[in-house]
Structure 1
Amino acid sequence: MLSFDPGGRERHIEVKTSRHGAGTPFFVTDNEVRVSERSPETYWLYRLYDFRGHPGRVARPSPAYRLQGDLQRNLDLRPVSYRALPA
């Protein structure tokens, strides 16, 4: 699904949800980092935290923040795993 800003320009939105607080580390993919680097003017990451959703029940609104642009400039990124292929 496409998203657009009020001026009609395309927006790429990524949403991350966590049951933990705003300062808790979360995961982003290599692809998300590359897309944010290629298109920082259209890339937005929305982070919902303290999420307490339960299936079949209406959840209270979660606090959130949003970041625009290159994730490498907005976050302290640290590698936590590698994909290994036989040489």
Structure 2
Amino acid sequence: MPGRPPRPGQGDGLARRSRRRPSGYDIRSFEPGGEERFLEIKTTNGHARTRFWLPRTQYEVAAQNPSTYRVRRVFHFQNGAEMFDIKRPLDAGLRLIPDKYLAVPR
């Protein structure tokens, strides 16, 4: 729309880092066509299959926003970093292993 300023990250080619924590993602961005994206970046120095932590908040935001949420996996970070997007939905691209449980005395 003429005269209307672009949304953050749209038109100027810049993505915006999430300021509201915990938001469940690192970066809010937009595709060239205007589609919103929530990006969570997971980085390790190990190989592509090195395990990483996915907090409950991130899992829930991904489940609530399956068409807009992306987990971008960065590996070999200190040795020529490489990257790929985890297949969606997350349950299809990751083997999720419960690690912590909330324990409440009876």
Relative to the length of structure 2, the TM-score reads 0.66
The structure 2 residue matched to 1:14, chosen from 25, 36, 40, is 40
Aligned pair 1:77/2:77, yes or no? no
Q: Please, which moves more after superposition, 38-47 or 62-71?
A: 62-71
Conserved in 2, the CA contact under 8 Å of 1:43 and 1:70? no
CA drift at 1:73:
2.5
Q: Which runs of 4+ in 1 moved over 4 A?
A: none
The structure 1 residue matched to 2:54, chosen from 25, 28, 53, is 28
Question: Structure 1 counterpart of 2:50, which letter?
Answer: T
- Bigger relative CO (Cα 8 Å, ≥ 6 apart): 1
Conserved in 2, the CA contact under 8 Å of 1:5 and 1:11? yes
Bigger radius of gyration: 2
Gaps spanning 5+ residues in structure 2: where? 1-15, 17-27
Over the aligned positions, Cα root-mean-square deviation in angstroms equals 1.7
CA drift at 1:9:
1.1
Gaps spanning 5+ residues in structure 1: where? 53-59
What's the counterpart of residue 63 of structure 2? 37
Question: Judging changes above 3 Å, is the alpha-carbon distance between structure 1 residues 46 and 21 closer, same or farther for their aligned structure 2 residues?
Answer: same
